[in-house]
Amino acid sequence: MYVQLPFDELRVDSTQKKRIAYFYDADVGNYAYGAGHPMKPHRIRMAHSLIMNYGLYKKMEIYRAKPATKQEMCQFHTDEYIDFLSRVTPDNLDNFAKEQIKFNVGDDCPVFDGLFEYCGISGGGSMEGAARLNRGKCDIAINYAGGLHHAKKSEASGFCYLNDIVLGIIELLRYHPRVLYIDIDVHHGDGVEEAFYTTDRVMTCSFHKYGEFFPGTGELRDIGVGKGKYHAINVPLRDGIDDATYKSIFEPVISHIIEWYQPSAIVLQCGGDSLSGDRLGCFNLSMSGHANCVNFVKSFNIPMMVVGGGGYTMRNVARTWAFESGLLNNVVLPSELPYNEYFEYYGPDYKLDVRPSNMYNANSPEFLNKILTNIIQNLEHTKHAPSVQMQDVPRDPEDLGDVDEDTAEAKDTRGGSQFARDHETEKPGELYDDDDKDKGEKNITITEAEQMEIDELNQEE
């Protein structure tokens, strides 16, 4: 079943136009996990600088999303966990000794200045991106500050505090019957899988290194439970996977999923730690090998949200996300880097490229054939896309900031302001099942036998 595909040069259709909403908050690069910590939010600012200097801003709509509120974060996370994140600082950390253990905050997930604001930026971008996709305002939404796939309902994990992906998918589920989540980070997307492990409304598919590697989850036999059985797909890979091998497993798996599951929206997590030469990763993908996944998923023309994720060699992550932004806009960026404020990071060659190394590929064709066969057998159970009960689409959250419609003039037009209409209450006696009844008449259906009894009683009286 496994066939080694040739790895060709990436191509785009320059005549095709996608409407792209790109979310970026200039503050995101100001946050720091601490000296010596591998996670550096500064890489998002570097990627943004390349994207701007390549002129991609002319092709996209660029937004700064409103940071996610506590209430929005609590759509997935617990109230007490979000309350803790909003109150803890490096100065008052000693007051939260119990909570640090309970919420797994410490070495990997340190408390730093502006932690809650940082969470708000990543969550706001993914939620606003999902909302724009829902309203048909764009075909692709990009939020490189997102992709923090390890965060759990009430626990930080793997440098992730707020699971912006889950919040974005929850938003998509308000309009879309089925959502597909694809994860090409070198680490297993455990937080997202866990959140949707029991539902058939979301299918999660993660390609990751498995075996004595963080977070230790995501083996082939983890397929979901209950209604969600066969809706969690894990592709456990070994060290040194290269472009052609990755393409040969990625493309058939994704093709089968889309053909059988028929998602109406896709979320793609583009963690850059699967690139060759990453500080924490152990794969051997070039920039083109990584970007091929993005290009392939885009080719299905399904509404799509692209988020960031891991990636700990900053210059390579910035190069790759800039290149992938170009592909999403149907442009193959030239390899000569334009001058930008972080130009010295890209020495000595100053090229837009991440080259593979001579690392040994431990993924044999027999091993990959076994994985592919197993996954396709499991997918057989999802061949007929699950049905979703028809129901009204819930209203978009009320915009409490718009007070113009509540002025006296507005209340005199169109039956009063939206605010006033929202706060009208049902008057007693207004609820009828049958409009033909006289106003005030009680809506009671009487059988013939009951009517005869009433007539008899009346005659006796």
- Catalytic annotation on 37? no
Alpha-carbon gap, residue 25 to 271, rounded angstroms: 19
Alpha-carbon gap, residue 320 to 308, rounded angstroms: 11
Residues shown for the chain: 461
Residue 122: both structure tokens together = 């990543």
Q: Which amino acid is at 126?
A: S
- Provide the angle, in degrees to the nearest 10, between the axes of the packed helices 42-53 and 314-328: 40
Q: Report yes or no: 269 and 185 within 8 Å, Cβ to Cβ.
A: yes
Strand order in the sheet with 179-183: 61-63, 20-23, 140-143, 304-307, 265-269, 179-183, 202-209, 232-237
The annotation status of 158 as a binding-site residue, yes or no, is yes
Task: Indicate the DSSP class of residue 351.
Answer: B
20-23 and 61-63 beta bridge pairing: parallel
The annotation status of 188 as a binding-site residue, yes or no, is no
The annotation status of 350 as a binding-site residue, yes or no, is no
The annotation status of 185 as a binding-site residue, yes or no, is yes
Determine which one of 48, 77, 149, 150 is catalytic: 150
| Residue 168 φ then ψ, to 5° | -65, -40
Q: Report yes or no: 329 and 293 within 8 Å, Cβ to Cβ.
A: no
| Residue 268 φ then ψ, to 5° | -115, 120
Q: Report yes or no: 169 and 145 within 8 Å, Cβ to Cβ.
A: no
**Beta bridge pairs of residue 61:** 21
Alpha-carbon gap, residue 48 to 407, rounded angstroms: 41
CA atoms within 13 A on the CB side of 286: 17
The annotation status of 25 as a binding-site residue, yes or no, is no
Minimal CA–CA distance to 139: which of 22, 263, 261, 292? 22
Q: Is 262 helix (H, G, I), strand (E, B) or coil?
A: coil
**Beta bridge pairs of residue 336:** 351
The annotation status of 438 as a binding-site residue, yes or no, is no
Alpha-carbon gap, residue 254 to 298, rounded angstroms: 12
CA 315 to chain centroid: 24
Q: Report yes or no: 314 and 43 within 8 Å, Cβ to Cβ.
A: yes
Known catalytic residues are 150
Annotated binding site: 108, 158, 185, 187, 273, 312
Q: Which residues are annotated as a binding site for a divalent metal cation?
A: 185, 187, 273
Annotated binding site for substrate, which residues? 108, 158, 312
